[in-house]
Amino acid sequence: MGKIICNIFKVGIYALLLTYPTLAQAAPLELSLEDSIRLALQNNPTVKVALSEQERTSWGIHSALAGRGLAMTMTHTDSRGRDAPSSSDPNPRVEDNHDNSVSLLYSLYTGGKVDSQVNQAKLSLASADWGVEKARQQVKFDATSAYFSILQTNSVLALDKESVSQLERHVEVARKQNSAGMVALTDVLRSEIELVNAQQSQMKSQKDYDLAIVNLNNIIGLPKSSQITIKDDMGYKKYNPSLDELIQYAVENRPNAIQALNDVKLARESVIVAQSDNLPSVTLRASANAYDAVLPGDKNFNWSVGLVTSWNILDAGLTKSKVKQAQSSVNTAIDQVHQIQDSIEVDVRSAFLSLSEAEKRIGTTEVAIKKAEQNYKIAQIQYLAGIGTNLDVIDAQTALTQSKVNYVQALYDYNTSKAKIDWAVGYPIVAAVMH
């Protein structure tokens, strides 16, 4: 019950933020990765466009099914006319005519055209359904990457702030050493230059962090100026997928792979539609007509019922050309299936290799940080003792900061590679994340 109340409270906050942007500026919103994905799936235009396309395509089935239904046309005509004068009637009368007619048509046989058009409409809707899933998977990946980008830029910003603090302390030490006549003025100047460089790096990191916030706001549908804080951290969780199993699953289940297979089926149905022009069509036709010169059809009435069969015997090769075009489209669609499957395998392998490489870097950078910390301490002690140089301290401090930045980058690459694998494989969006 407590979790339900908490979720309701979150939804209320999101609604207020969307309605009143000033609230977003006043009260930063704390988001988890799951919160961000849920908001993105609800608000991102990419998903909304895919849903609109899905709705549009669904009506194509109704349009195709209309070819199996009864068609009725009703016509009412009011006219006034006069015959040309003749020797027997030099002054013909002007007459009013009123005509009501009703026609009913029902297709009994179309050479398979209507059935294939219905199948095409169903296949198009299935592709649109997978288009929605593809859009959701892409938005999930975008939201995940943007979320981890905030964590990365915030971590780098914190490291830059730490670097500035370390250099500020070193500048003070250099000044004291210079006042005591232990080091030259160049040590102070060089330290001050490094401090300014570190401060500029901090400014850039602040900008990168602010842009990362804007990017996530854009993806999840919050006002761009919304202030948010991130709840999760960019940790390391062991992930050991089987590459062969990932590729097999992706080729069979990724939305664009299924859409490509649907395109082959669509192309084959187009061949049947084209071939139907070489087959006869049979239509049941019924009509009724009532007309009169005084009132709309109160005296004269006639009707007819019949079967109309038509067969396109000769069309100068038009139907044959359409069939050949449709068959070529089938071959093209089959080639595209292979192309997409190859592309999917490349995506999976690329994400898998990036994950493995980032995982190795996590281990090596952890070792590098420990050594850099030890080296920095030694350089500080030696400088204070007068047996080390200013450059040793600056180089050690720079190496320490860079080692920590490399570690943050490795964690970011590892986590985003995991998300990239989910996208490349085409894992379905969990219902709990969507609602």
User: Quick count: other Cβ atoms within 10 Å of Cβ 77?
Assistant: 11
Distance separating alpha carbons of residues 367 and 116, to the nearest angstrom: 65
Over residues 185-222, the pLDDT tens digits come to 999 999 999 999 999 999 999 999 999 999 999 999 99
User: Quick count: other Cβ atoms within 10 Å of Cβ 5?
Assistant: 9
Question: E-strand spans in 193-346?
Answer: 228-230, 281-292, 300-310
**Does residue 12 register a pLDDT over 90?**
no
| pLDDT-derived band at 161, boundaries 50, 70, 90 | very high
Contact between 257 and 340 (Cβ < 8 Å)? yes
Rounded mean pLDDT, 332-356: 96
Distances (CA, A) of 239 to 24, 32, 152, 356: 36, 21, 20, 9
Range in 121-125, 226-230, 291-295 with the lowest mean pLDDT: 291-295
Q: How far apart are the first and last CA of the chain?
A: 16
Q: What DSSP string describes 374-426?
A: HHHHHHHHHHHHTSS-HHHHHHHHHHHHHHHHHHHHHHHHHHHHHHHHHHHHT
Residue 240 pLDDT: 84
Residue 402 pLDDT: 96
Contact between 301 and 287 (Cβ < 8 Å)? no
**Does residue 25 register a pLDDT over 70?**
no
Rounded mean pLDDT, 214-239: 92
Residue 294 pLDDT: 55
Structure tokens at 252: 């069979």
Nearest residue to 277 via CA among 336, 238, 233, 321: 321
Task: Write down the pTM of the prediction.
Answer: 0.82
Rounded mean pLDDT, 50-61: 94
Distance separating alpha carbons of residues 422 and 430, to the nearest angstrom: 12
Distance separating alpha carbons of residues 192 and 181, to the nearest angstrom: 18
Average pLDDT over the chain, rounded to whole?
88
Question: E-strand spans in 88-220?
Answer: 94-109
Residues of the chain with pLDDT > 90, as a percent, come to 64
Residue 300 pLDDT: 76
Distances (CA, A) of 365 to 321, 361, 401: 65, 6, 11
| pLDDT-derived band at 91, boundaries 50, 70, 90 | confident
Domains and CATH numbers, the chain: 2-69+112-278+317-428 (1.20.1600.10)
Residue 26, judged by CB atoms within 10 A of its CB (0-12, 13-18, 19+), counts as exposed
Residue 1 pLDDT: 42
Length of the chain: 435
Nearest residue to 14 via CA among 25, 29, 26, 3: 29
**Does residue 92 register a pLDDT over 80?**
no
**Does residue 28 register a pLDDT over 90?**
no
Contact between 274 and 323 (Cβ < 8 Å)? yes
Distances (CA, A) of 312 to 111, 118, 274, 327: 12, 22, 12, 21
Range in 40-44, 56-60, 315-319 with the lowest mean pLDDT: 315-319
**Does residue 19 register a pLDDT over 60?**
no
The three-state DSSP-derived secondary structure of 323-383 is HHHHHHHHHHHHHHHHHHHHHHHHHHHHHHHHHHHHHHHHHHHHHHHHHHHHHHHHHHHHH
Structure tokens at 293: 């010169």
Distance separating alpha carbons of residues 167 and 398, to the nearest angstrom: 10
Residue 335, judged by CB atoms within 10 A of its CB (0-12, 13-18, 19+), counts as exposed
Distance separating alpha carbons of residues 147 and 31, to the nearest angstrom: 9
Residue 292 pLDDT: 73
Structure tokens at 109: 């046989």
Structure tokens at 394: 């600056």
User: Quick count: other Cβ atoms within 10 Å of Cβ 159?
Assistant: 21
**Does residue 369 register a pLDDT over 70?**
yes
Residue 178 pLDDT: 93
b/e sequence 211-224, b meaning 16+ C-beta within 10 Å? ebbebbbbbbbbbe
Distance separating alpha carbons of residues 289 and 24, to the nearest angstrom: 70
Over residues 318-334, the pLDDT tens digits come to 889 989 999 999 999 99
**Does residue 181 register a pLDDT over 90?**
no
